[in-house]
Homo-oligomer: A and B are copies of this chain.
Amino acid sequence: MNFSSKLIEEAVQAFASLPGIGKKTALRLVLHLMSQEEEMTDTFAEAIVKMRKNIKSCTCCHNLSDELLCNICQDTRRSKQVLCIVEGIRDIMAIEDTAQFKGTYHVLGGVISPIEGIGPDDLNINSLLERIEKKEIKEVIMAISPTIEGDTTIFFLSKKLEAYDVKISTIARGVSFGGELEYADELTLGRSIVARIPYRGKD
């Protein structure tokens, strides 16, 4: 691409360095900024610089936070006895969006993956054990992806947690709500038959 301006070229390259944004999209974004007031660009830049500079990791659950404790950990209405273990902060957002969980979280920061060179020491497992030791946690829910790596991580954690008096569960796996059986993959469908649930009539 030929740029008549070095400034434009640098701005396009800045956008194109973001994942999923190619040069053409980057140019469209730059030209959009050009068509807006100068303040809009300033506000935009300020928002991301401020975010990157001031964002903290919650000292308790490792969620991203504005303060030392994230607002989920700070929330006194939430149960500190039920802990949901997730891989990343995006999972917290997804679970929060369901409005079905009123406990607290713990972010592992990934799953055990020998292929990618991620071992238990690379994850926030020590701080998890500390939390379980220190606080009155009664139940741990493993909301971890149903993959080989996820299952390995769940197995590893469940072994570690055997020493403590906590109830362990994983999120339910089976066919999606609203999904058609014939389109479910074999593994999911097979497992959902093996792990069938007693019928309790209408919930």
Contacts and interface: CB of A to CB of B under 8 A. Distances in A.
- Interface SS of A by simple majority: helix
A3 to B, nearest CB: 7
A90 interface: yes
Contacts of A17: 40, 44
Contacts of A193: none
B48 A2 contact: no
A55 B89 contact: no
A195 interface: no
Contact of A20 (B28, B34, B45): B28
Contacts of A172: none
B48 A52 contact: no
Contact of A52 (B38, B49, B64): B38
Nearest to A18: B29
A48 B71 contact: no
B4 A72 contact: yes
Contact of A32 (B1, B18, B49): B18
* Nearest 8 Cβ contacts at the A-B interface: A45-B45, A2-B96, A11-B51, A41-B52, A14-B47, A7-B51, A14-B44, A10-B47
